[in-house]
């Protein structure tokens, strides 16, 4: 068992649960105020409800995953990073550095 950070979260209906084993790299929000956390992709696992997770392609062509029961957007992956909705975890971080922001041309919402 790791002695590092450990977070668990779920979608609004509880059908999909996530396990995060590292601190977020950054935190931010989009123009509509929807918050997100940036994590190393290796630190994020779907720990339950994989069958309730569906992947859809956003307008920008990047895949995002959501619970197909409550329709909540949960995560988007790219460039070895994962964006997750900030309401899923009780973690906080600084805004992304310019270097990290360049690696995030995709969005969650």
CATH number for the domain formed by residue range(s) 7-99: 2.170.150.70
pLDDT tens per residue across span 50-66: 999 999 998 878 889 99
Q: How many of the other CB atoms lie within 10 Å of CB of 61?
A: 7
Whole-model pTM: value is 0.84
Q: How far is CA 73 from CA 28, 80, 97, 107, in A?
A: 16, 19, 24, 11
pLDDT of residue 44: 94
Q: What are the extents of the domains in the chain?
A: 7-99
pLDDT of residue 2: 58
pLDDT tens per residue across span 18-50: 999 999 999 999 888 889 999 999 999 999 999
| Burial of 23 per CB tally in 10 Å (0-12, 13-18, 19+) | middle
Q: How far apart are the first and last CA of the chain?
A: 33
Q: What confidence category does residue 83 fall into, taking pLDDT thresholds of 50, 70 and 90? A: very high
**59/109: higher pLDDT:** 59
- Among 71, 80, 68, which Cα is nearest to 109's? 71
């Amino acid at each position: 068992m790791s002695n590092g950070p450990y977070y668990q979260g779920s979608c609004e209906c509880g059908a999909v649960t996530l396990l995060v084993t590292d601190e977020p790299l950054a935190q931010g929000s989009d123009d509509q105020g929807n918050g997100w956390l940036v994590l190393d992709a290796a630190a994020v696992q779907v720990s339950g409800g994989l069958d309730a997770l569906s992947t859809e392609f956003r307008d920008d062509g990047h895949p995002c995953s959501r619970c197909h029961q409550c329709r909540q957007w949960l995560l988007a992956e790219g460039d070895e990073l994962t964006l997750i909705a900030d309401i899923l975890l009780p973690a906080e971080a600084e805004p992304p550095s310019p270097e990290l922001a360049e690696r995030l041309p995709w969005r969650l919402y």
